[in-house]
Amino acid sequence: MTVSVFPAMTETRSTCPYCGVGCGVIIASEGSQITGVRGDPQHPANFGRLCTKGSTLHLTASSVVTRQTRLLAPVQRLQRHGSTQPITWNGALDLAAQRFADTIARHGPDSVGFYISGQLLTEDYYVFNKLAKGLIGTNNIDSNSRLHEQRGGRLQADAGHGLAACLL
Domain boundaries, the chain: 9-66, 108-163
Least-confidence region, from 86-100, 117-131, 133-147, 151-165: 151-165
Which CATH code fits 9-66? 3.30.200.210
Per-residue pLDDT, 61: 78
| Strand stretches in 16-113, DSSP E | 24-30, 33-39, 75-77, 84-86
Say yes or no to pLDDT of 116 above 60.
yes
H or E segment to which residue 122 belongs: helix 122-129
Residue 133, burial from CB neighbour count under 10 angstroms (0-12, 13-18, 19+) = middle
Specify which residues 30 forms β-bridges with: 9, 33
Say yes or no to pLDDT of 150 above 50.
no
Q: Residue 40: CA atoms inside 13 Å, Cβ hemisphere, count?
A: 17
Q: Which of 6, 14, 13 is nearest to 31 (CA)?
A: 6
**pLDDT, tens digit, 9 for 90 and up, residues 60-83:** 877 777 666 677 899 999 999 999
Q: Which of 12, 36, 45, 29 is nearest to 118 (CA)?
A: 45
End-to-end CA, the chain: 50
Of the pLDDT bands very low, low, confident and very high (cuts 50, 70, 90), residue 168 is very low
Of the pLDDT bands very low, low, confident and very high (cuts 50, 70, 90), residue 5 is low
